[in-house]
């Protein structure tokens, strides 16, 4: 099914195709952001949500403020944001076909938190054919000082890179990819309500939060509806109406880095 082009300008589509990412400013207003702050604070106050997060009391800030994984699976507000036409429509238009929703995450990134080493999202989602896409919503100002995102423009045209172990004193994740000599890392400053869209092979990451303020964000991941495979941990997928979609895959390529196969279905 063709997607009617109406949400994006020709310049935005061209920039996304060339760089692998696109920033759209002020997509949520201050009242929406304020409500989300209060809502996720209430969830965090529970300290433990099975399948989503468990907050501890250790010295690591990320132990006390862990990222929430797949909150849309139990929380209607998260599910509503994942399926919000403002996000879903842009993703579908960038794909040129309807999208399927795969994942949500909420990051607190408190002061002193480690960052995330340079990586590619599709190393985890393993979308075939095509690639996943993120919609990264800034709830706080996201800057170099508080560990804002960094991207490598144009890296989305390369294959998935085989990662090596990351420096876990700087990164909470274990995987890091190397850069080709011609690539450069560019910081992306975002204001509350801005959304950064980027493809699953775009190399990106973030430094530690060296400021005195949080860098809260809500992240959604999608895959194109034509994809036949996706890592099983992202099941069930949802269409734009919130209906569950499962596509069985009779086979598929193994991880090019030598790991297990990831299949949708």
pLDDT for position 249: 44
Cα angle 168, 114, 144; round to 5: 130
**What CA–CA distance (Å, rounded) separates 177 from 124?**
13
**CA–CA separation, 131 and 260 (whole Å):** 18
pLDDT given for residue 264 in this prediction? 41
pTM of the model: 0.93
Please state, rounded to an integer, the average pLDDT across all residues of the chain. Answer: 92
| pLDDT over 70 (residue 238) | yes
Q: Tokens 């400053």, residue?
A: 189
The pLDDT score that the predictor gives to residue 246 is 74
List the domains of the chain with CATH numbers: 10-245 (2.60.120.620)
DSSP 8-state class, residue 102: E
Q: Point out the least confidently predicted range of 4-13, 39-48, 156-165, 177-186.
A: 4-13
- For the stretch 46-78, pLDDT in tens is 999 999 999 999 999 999 999 999 999 999 999
Residue 15 has pLDDT above 80, yes or no: yes
pLDDT at 265: 39
Work out the percent of the chain whose per-residue pLDDT is above 90.
87
The CA distance from 136 to 124, in Å, is 17
Find the range with the poorest average confidence among 4-8, 16-20, 116-120.
4-8
């Amino acid at each position: 099914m063709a997607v009617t082009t109406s949400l994006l300008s020709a310049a935005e589509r061209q920039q996304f195709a060339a760089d692998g990412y696109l920033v759209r400013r002020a997509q949520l207003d201050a009242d929406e952001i304020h409500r989300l702050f209060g809502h996720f604070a209430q969830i965090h106050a529970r300290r433990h949500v099975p399948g989503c997060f468990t907050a501890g009391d250790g010295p690591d800030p990320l132990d006390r403020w862990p990222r929430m994984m797949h909150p849309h699976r139990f929380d209607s507000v998260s599910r509503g944001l994942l399926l919000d036409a403002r996000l879903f429509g842009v993703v579908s238009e960038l794909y040129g076909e309807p999208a399927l929703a795969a994942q949500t995450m909420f990051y607190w990134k408190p002061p002193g938190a480690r960052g995330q080493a340079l990586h590619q999202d599709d190393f985890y989602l393993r979308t075939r054919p095509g690639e996943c896409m993120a919609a990264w919503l800034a709830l706080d100002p996201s800057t170099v000082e508080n560990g804002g995102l960094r991207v490598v423009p144009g890296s989305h045209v390369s294959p998935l890179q085989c990662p090596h172990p990351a420096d876990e004193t700087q990164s909470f994740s274990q995987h890091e990819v190397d850069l080709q000599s011609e690539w450069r890392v560019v910081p992306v400053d975002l204001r509350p309500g801005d959304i950064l869209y980027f493809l699953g092979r775009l190399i990106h990451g973030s430094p530690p939060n060296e400021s005195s303020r949080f860098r809260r964000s809500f992240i959604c991941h999608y895959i194109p509806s034509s994809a036949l495979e996706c890592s099983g941990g992202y099941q069930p997928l949802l269409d734009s109406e919130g209906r569950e979609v499962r596509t069985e895959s009779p086979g598929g390529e193994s991880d090019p880095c030598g790991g297990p196969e990831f299949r949708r279905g």
